[in-house]
Structure 1
Amino acid sequence: MIKQETVDKILDTARIEEVVGNFMELKKRGTSLIGLCPFHNEKTPSFNVSVNKGIYKCFGCGAGGDAVRFVMEHEKYSYPEALKYLAQKYHIEVVETERTPEQLAAQDKRESLFIVTNWAGKFFRETLWDTEEGRTIGLNYFKERGYREDIIQKFELGYSPEGWAALYDQAKIAGYKDEFLETTGLVIRRSADQEGAYDRFRGRVMFPIHNLTGRILGFGGRTLKTDKKTPKYVNSPESEVYHKSDVLYGLFFAKKAILDADHCYLVEGYADVLSMHQAGVENVVSSSGTSLTSGQIRLVSRYTKNVTILYDGDEAGIKASLRGTDMLLEEGLNVKVLLFPDGNDPDSYVQRFGSTAFKQYIAEHQQDFIFYKTHVLLRGAGNDPVKRAEIIHDVVESIALIPDAIKASVFVRECSTLLDIEERILIAELNKIRIGNARKSGRKPDTLPAQPTAIDPPAEAGVEDKNSGMSSDVLQEREIVRILLHYGSTAAAWEANSEIPIAPLLLSGLSDLSFDDPACLLVINVFKEYIARNELPDERVFVAHQDRRIADLAVDLLSSKYSLSPNWNDEKRKIYVPHESERLEDLVYGAIYRIKKRKVEQQMVRIREEMKTEKDETDMELMLANYQKLKDVSKIIAEKLGTIVIK
């Protein structure tokens, strides 16, 4: 186990904006940072990072927590694994207490798979650089392709020996289990009547595939043989750590450059990524020769909304891939394309013309995907009216996928000229397609011209929406907890003894009440435990709490979907909107009186129900007397709240 002092140091050092920013693009909005949530598919940012509070919260799917929770959820790490990741990031030495045999035996399987793949990566690298076979065959191949040694080392390229079980034999000597070697696809079990296993990647140059933190997930292996029966590439199979549809080759090395440039180049193969890095263009990733998936597109959209797809010169292949490219538009990305001439791809063009010419060609020849698609399809249609009608429909289908109404309108206007057809006809066709798509998905169609949509007014702090599905009792209890989390350690300046913090004052005012919501009660109990020791817990105690009920509630109540624009407090216009922290006395006593009034009214309702069936006159008189007392109390509380009771 990791010592508590080390855990505290990690939590103190980790910066939420830096941790989250390693995995996705964040933009400043008011006092917070926002981005597209990595935990669910969305086109409008609802993922909020509060730097001051050290937490994140998605107001779309509800995900939230601190830096440790983000790493756990994003990378599917256990709590200790997430702490170790952050410790490594911030160069903190991890001090662990000795683990029991039971704990060692329960080592996480996923971590074991990572250990095996990363060991294999080291084995392939050492074989490439340190063995005669590796240098003669593997290293010579890379150098013949024009790759510098620094690029070979940067991407941790390697070589798998020709022998049937070179890796397997070394893995067994190192103590790795067959179970993990087989699951990661490094080896293949022999037939039932034979013992042992053989290497999957024998005789191939190796391209390790990294996750966003740099750990190796799997491999792509390229054969150097010319035998047509031998597949050119062999890839790691799907496993608990490697899901091909959710991985982009080179993203670990490209993410900073993508953020800096606010642009991503998308290529087909490993070699294209290597050549572009060598040419000084580092904001590039590869789909590894497969059709784009929604998972891969969402990965890109975390870092930028601007994508350029680099095609080779095969127009037939380009036409076949146009449909898949439409997925980028549907995700709200700005898509450009670039066609290399004379059958070149990014790799061959760099090798042939050099870095400077390559960068210049990219800058001068990329164009919007919609216009490019229109030109490509029109070239094949000639003057055939039927084919032109099909092209018009195909192009409008692509525009219909664009969620931004203004952008879609611009493309409609431009394409009406390219296609030589009236704009109103294109709009009518687009609306028909959108209505059809909406019916299939059961949602409301978004047609052109775009209609203005009503904007929901900001909610008052601490007040839940009517659609929250929570009872008034729970909402009031959560308001108490919200005040404790935000202002519990703040001094009650209005009291005679102004050094008294709000937390003990508030809880003493509610000592005669019980809390019904389990999560609220857990937080209240933590406060009571600290107060009993003459201490007060800070926000981190709750946000980083191991009980997810406490942590989730804390994140929910510490997060705010809305923030007041700084333009509202304007000396020139004499506009000033006070913050709730400036009226803490009213906030605290208002919360106490409201929840007490609610509890009293509940007791009154219960007594009225009991009186309906009560037969005994003496008991009835006692009930009436008790009811009158409660009514008097309710009236006093109502007066305190400044309300008028009609009854």
Structure 2
Amino acid sequence: MIDRATVDRIMDAVNIVDVVSEFVHLRKAGVNYKGLCPFHDDKTPSFMVSPAKGICHCFACGKGGNAVNFVMEHEQMTYPEALRWLAAKYNIEIKEKELTDEEKKEAGERESMFIVNEWAKDYFMNIMDNDPDGVAIGKQYFRSRGFRDDIIKKFQLGFALSQRDSMSKAALAKGYKEEFLVKTGLCYRKDNGELVDRYSGRVIFPWLNVSGKVSAFGGRLLDSRTKGVQQKYVNSPESEIYHKDRELYGLYQAKKAIVKEDRVFMVEGYTDVVSMHQCGIENVVANSGTALSMHQVRLLHRFTSNIVLLYDGDEAGIHAAMRGTDMLLSEGMNIKVLVLPDGDDPDSFSRKHTAVEFRQYIEDNQTDFIEFKTARLLRGVTDPIKRSEAIGSIVRSVSVIPNQIIRDTYLRECSIRLQMSEQTLVSTMNKFIRGDKEEREKEQEREARRRERDNQNTAQPQQVSSAAPSSVSSVLSSADMVLSAADVHGQEVERLLITMVIRHGEEIIYKGLEAEDGSMIDLSVSQYIDYDLSQDGIIFHNVLYNRILEEAVAHNNEPGFRAEAYFMHHPDIEISRIAGQLGINRYQLSASLSVEPTPDSIRQKVTHLVLDYRLGIMERRLKDIQMQLRTVGSDMERIRALMEKYRDTQVVRDALARQIGSDIIVTK
């Protein structure tokens, strides 16, 4: 358990912009910051970060909160894990009690796998630093590649002994479960049940996810053993914590440099990344020879919109540069291609040049991707069919670019370079765009039909009483449709009331009111809402909203109490999440146009919302009476009583409507 004092120290030290910037590329937007939301497919920045309030919020998917909420959601951590992550970031010591055996059993499988991987990473590093074979074989290999010790440590490289059970025996002796050694892929079972180390005799490259946790490993056979071997590298298999199409090697070490440079270099292999870091170029990641996935593209796009594909100068390297590019273009990425001199890869080239020389070579030789593709596909092609296919592939790439101006610019340049009519290229591009749109619509229709079939299979038929007269039944059905919308409106008003409690809960809006005992009192926002609603025993539908209002009233008279700060840092993670979502505005006016809320303006808004909320309750009560009338049958006495109750409720509803100036259709 982490005590409250430590939690407070962590929350006081946290800078929300600093934390979010670990995972999202942010740009200044007035007093706030904006970026692409990391929680959904976001093409235009909808993720807002408020440094003044210490919160973040996506106005598209609704996710956000304070720094703890963000880390929990992004990294799939528990509340204590997120606090530990923040504490480590800000060098805050946490003293915790030892977990009991029962508490250890309750730890999630995912966290257990991360723990095993973290131990394995330390084990491999220790072997390379302290075991005679580790030093003589593993470290000597890295040094032969020209890697300095500080770079080896930076990437936490290691070595696995050649014995097929060395690591697994050490892990079991430390108390780690065999189950997680297999689930992480560190070990596998042979047909006879024998437990075997996956990486024995290999140098080790740990994969760190974007938050620095070890999610996987790559193991490479040493040069003397790779002759005739098909599989020089062995990587971790897919697992609960590692999906190869969602990770990029070196992203954790590169993310700050990517944001600073507003550009990322994409290479193929581990050693390319490590060598470029040693050369002084740190904004580099590798996809490890696999085709780029949409997950990886979107992950990179959170940090930058500019990417340089940096590959070998041979045919394989050029082919690699062509893969996955349409996905990059469709996500609005700006792509450059840099093909190194034939015979060089990023690893060898960076060992021959300084960072200044390397960067100068990049600036002098990088090419816009469409220009590169055009030159590459049409070089030496004279056959009309092959030429038309190549041009179609180029136009296809242009068609996926979301920005129309950029598309038009590319087509104009292609028209000049290819000596073709621009109109022909535009017509071809539009066919691609229409085809993609039709395919998406067909897929949406197929998905809708699948959902409809699923709903039909699971839906239960509703029984409607036929005892009520048909004319009454038709009126009630129409009213039900209107009132279902009223229910949604009531929930929105409830949310707005709690927003006022969070943002202004301690602010006085009524002064010098006479209490029942004759004394004079002042009422804050939270006190007024609580007092007004409690007169009729009204409570919020959302249980957490009731807790927020209750706590705001309870703490209202404490010196220095500020509702917003109190709820943002609330120990209940759900309450702090709500406070984060409701405490930030999507749009910020400039300083010259913004108007600070006054007690009068806050009072007017709160009283209007309370009246509106009461109006919604009357609407729901009318709906309940209508439902009772539908099922009452032929009991005329009961019908008369319900109709009388309906009229009385209508009177109250109409009075509230007039009081707040609402236009409402009164049922006669």
Shared fold (TM-score, shorter chain, > 0.5): yes
Q: What is the letter of the counterpart of residue 379 of structure 1? A: R
Q: How does 1:458-497 map to 2 (within 5 A)?
A: 471-492=488-509
Q: What is the letter of the counterpart of residue 492 of structure 1? A: I
Q: Which has the higher contact order (CA 8 A, sep 6+)?
A: 2
Q: How does 1:280-319 map to 2 (within 5 A)?
A: 280-315=280-315, 317-319=317-319
8 A Cα contact 1:158 1:206, kept in partner: yes
Structure 1 residue 601 displacement after superposition: 5.5
Structure 1 residue 478 displacement after superposition: 2.2
Structure 1 residue 599 displacement after superposition: 3.5
Name which of structure 1's ranges 508-517 and 145-154 shifts more when overlaid on structure 2.
508-517
Once residues 487 and 66 of structure 1 are traced to their aligned partners in structure 2, the CA distance between those partners, rounded to angstroms, is 18
Name which of structure 1's ranges 93-102 and 474-483 shifts more when overlaid on structure 2.
93-102
| 2:232 counterpart residue number | 232
Structure 1 residue 19 displacement after superposition: 1.2
Once residues 335 and 507 of structure 2 are traced to their aligned partners in structure 1, the CA distance between those partners, rounded to angstroms, is 51
8 A Cα contact 1:245 1:293, kept in partner: yes
Q: How does 1:162-173 map to 2 (within 5 A)?
A: 162-173=162-173
- 1:564 partnered with 2:589: yes
| 1:203 counterpart residue number | 201
Once residues 227 and 608 of structure 1 are traced to their aligned partners in structure 2, the CA distance between those partners, rounded to angstroms, is 83
Q: How does 1:593-604 map to 2 (within 5 A)?
A: 593-600=611-618
Structure 1 residue 400 displacement after superposition: 0.7
Identity of aligned residues (%): 41
8 A Cα contact 2:508 2:599, kept in partner: no
Structure 1 residue 421 displacement after superposition: 1.1
Structure 1 residue 351 displacement after superposition: 2.4
Q: How does 1:139-218 map to 2 (within 5 A)?
A: 139-192=139-192, 196-218=194-216
- 1:510 partnered with 2:533: yes
8 A Cα contact 1:57 1:64, kept in partner: yes
Once residues 210 and 429 of structure 2 are traced to their aligned partners in structure 1, the CA distance between those partners, rounded to angstroms, is 38
1:272 aligned counterpart, secondary structure: helix
Cα RMSD, aligned residues only = 3.2
8 A Cα contact 2:310 2:321, kept in partner: no
Gaps of 5+ in 1: 445-465, 570-576
- 1:364 partnered with 2:364: yes
1:227 aligned counterpart, secondary structure: coil
8 A Cα contact 2:494 2:613, kept in partner: yes
Which TM-score applies when normalising by structure 1? 0.86
Name which of structure 1's ranges 44-53 and 278-287 shifts more when overlaid on structure 2.
44-53
Once residues 393 and 4 of structure 2 are traced to their aligned partners in structure 1, the CA distance between those partners, rounded to angstroms, is 60
**In the alignment, which of 553, 556, 563 is matched to residue 538 of structure 1?**
563
Structure 1 pair 321/310, CA: closer, same or farther in 2 (3 Å)?
closer
| 1:78 counterpart residue number | 78
| 1:641 counterpart residue number | 660
Once residues 529 and 141 of structure 1 are traced to their aligned partners in structure 2, the CA distance between those partners, rounded to angstroms, is 62
8 A Cα contact 2:219 2:235, kept in partner: yes
| 1:459 counterpart residue number | none
1:77 aligned counterpart, secondary structure: coil
8 A Cα contact 1:492 1:498, kept in partner: no
1:442 aligned counterpart, secondary structure: helix
Q: What is the letter of the counterpart of residue 361 of structure 2? A: Y
8 A Cα contact 1:65 1:544, kept in partner: no
8 A Cα contact 1:607 1:627, kept in partner: no
Name which of structure 1's ranges 366-375 and 85-94 shifts more when overlaid on structure 2.
85-94
Structure 1 residue 609 displacement after superposition: 8.8
Structure 1 residue 100 displacement after superposition: 4.1
Deviation digits for residues 65-106 of structure 1 (CA, Å, limit 9, x no counterpart): 221121112111122111111111112222334544321222
Once residues 649 and 350 of structure 2 are traced to their aligned partners in structure 1, the CA distance between those partners, rounded to angstroms, is 88
Structure 1 residue 223 displacement after superposition: 0.7
Deviation digits for residues 82-135 of structure 1 (CA, Å, limit 9, x no counterpart): 111111111222233454432122222222212221221122112222222222
Once residues 254 and 645 of structure 2 are traced to their aligned partners in structure 1, the CA distance between those partners, rounded to angstroms, is 75
Number of residues of Structure 1 aligned to a counterpart in Structure 2? 614
1:94 aligned counterpart, secondary structure: coil
Deviation digits for residues 434-453 of structure 1 (CA, Å, limit 9, x no counterpart): 01001111199xxxxxxxxx
1:198 aligned counterpart, secondary structure: strand
Which TM-score applies when normalising by structure 2? 0.84
- 1:590 partnered with 2:608: yes
Q: What is the letter of the counterpart of residue 489 of structure 2? A: S
8 A Cα contact 1:494 1:585, kept in partner: no
Once residues 608 and 106 of structure 1 are traced to their aligned partners in structure 2, the CA distance between those partners, rounded to angstroms, is 49
8 A Cα contact 1:49 1:57, kept in partner: yes
| 2:467 counterpart residue number | none
1:291 aligned counterpart, secondary structure: coil
| 1:430 counterpart residue number | 429
| 2:546 counterpart residue number | 524
| 1:402 counterpart residue number | 401
Once residues 356 and 605 of structure 2 are traced to their aligned partners in structure 1, the CA distance between those partners, rounded to angstroms, is 64
Structure 1 residue 549 displacement after superposition: 6.3
Structure 1 residue 31 displacement after superposition: 3.0
Name which of structure 1's ranges 579-588 and 131-140 shifts more when overlaid on structure 2.
579-588
Name which of structure 1's ranges 497-506 and 263-272 shifts more when overlaid on structure 2.
497-506
8 A Cα contact 2:370 2:410, kept in partner: yes
